Structure 1
Amino acid sequence: MKNDTSDSDLVLEFQSGNKKALNQLVKKWHKRFCEKAYWIVKDADVAKDIAQDSWNDIIKKIDTLKNPKSFGSWALRIVCNNAFDWINKNKRVQKHKEQIKYERKNIEVETEVDDTNHFKIKLLNVFKLLPEHQQIVIRLFYTEDYSLKEISDILNISIGTTKSRLFHAREKLKQLLKQ
């Protein structure tokens, strides 16, 4: 077999059982297959894989090729179809990954909301266990945003007593929440 054998002759020889004809077809076409696949998928490693997979498809289907002269366009069509299939599959996988990420995020948000609501309920129940004078200081300081000076004026107690009640209320809350 000489090197300048036409594609149609190589295809006919391969169809007749000459496996060496396939080696010549691969040498002649593999680089073009890689280039065509790369042109579509824009990833060199993926393009090489697509070209290799395309050769597997070509070998399986070459017996169905009726016009051996059309080998080039027929084979390139297989490469293109495989490349487009890869893109579509990759889009589906990417879309599926995004859907999973979205669902996880929603579950995390729901869990956080549940945890937050649970914590709020627990905090309110524990808050009710504090002495009334500590509850008042906590409410004025945290929910009404009064300063220590303003709280001491409202309750007609010293700033030191206000600080002390606030400190002891926090400590008591921490202790009760740990239980």
Structure 2
Amino acid sequence: MTGRIAKSPPAGRLYDELLVTLVQAGDRRAGERLAARWQPRLARTARRLLGDDEAALGVVQEAWLSILRGIGSLRDPSRFAPWAFGILRRRCADHIRKAQSARRHSGECTQEPIVAAMADEALAIREAFAALPADQRLAAQLFFVEGLTLAEIAEVQEVPVGTAKTRLFHARRKLKAALIGDDT
């Protein structure tokens, strides 16, 4: 028991469940509404993982193709969020692997330039997130930005809840250190 009081899901989650159910029944308009609601969230997460707006949008389109092809097999519409983010995570990982392979074959340098000065807090946060290992960055993005629970993060990352909790703990510690200038 986590000590949390059980509460009803927010209206947005219930609406998403309804949309998923309607999409599974063949309602194209519901699919368009679901995509309109989820496109910004998936794009934001892809940009955080890939660090490239253009690549992120392409990966999100690929993820949507997989989501719409496989939505009929989603047994529990309430699990749409972790299921969709899991698909996105796999598409981002595929993109990163392909990009690394292309750089190796072309002989490009794989290091990105480091930004010397922080212009504002948003830049500091982006840099702090970018400095996190990929697994911690995804856990932090899903928790702090997308509002997923530890169980949902574990499902997206295909790890036990304890591992997701550890990743989030370390990400939080590193973000705090980076943002307050502490070298912990």
What TM-score, normalized by structure 1, do the two folds share?
A: 0.51
Question: Which consecutive unaligned segments of at least 5 residues does structure 1 have?
Answer: 100-179
Larger Rg: 1
Shift of 1:84: 1.1
Correspondence for 1:98? 107
Q: Quick one: distance in 1 between partners of 2:68 and 2:59?
A: 14
SS at match of 2:107: helix
Q: Deviations over 1:78-117 (max 9, x none)?
A: 1111111100111011111229xxxxxxxxxxxxxxxxxx
* TM-superposition CA deviations, 1:51-87 (whole Å, max 9, x none): 1111111011111111110101110111111111100
User: Higher relative contact order at CA 8 Å, sep ≥6: structure 1 or structure 2?
Assistant: 2
Offset from partner CA, 1:100-143 (integer Å, 9 cap, x none): xxxxxxxxxxxxxxxxxxxxxxxxxxxxxxxxxxxxxxxxxxxx
Q: Identical aligned pairs, as a percentage? A: 27
Runs ≥4 in structure 1, deviation > 4 angstroms? none
2:52 corresponds to 1:38:
no
Q: Give the Cα–Cα distance (whole angstroms) in 1 for the partners of residues 68 and 33 of structure 2.
A: 13
Q: TM-score, length-normalised on structure 2? A: 0.50
Deviation at 1:35? 0.5
Structure 2 residue aligned with 1:7 = 16
Where 2:102 maps in the other structure, the secondary structure is: helix
Q: 2:37 aligns with which of 28, 50, 64?
A: 28
Which residue pairs with 1:53 in the alignment?
Answer: 62
Matched, 1:19 2:31: no
**What is the rounded CA distance, in whole Å, between the counterparts of 2:30 and 2:103 in structure 1?**
40
Unaligned ranges ≥5, structure 2: 1-10, 109-184
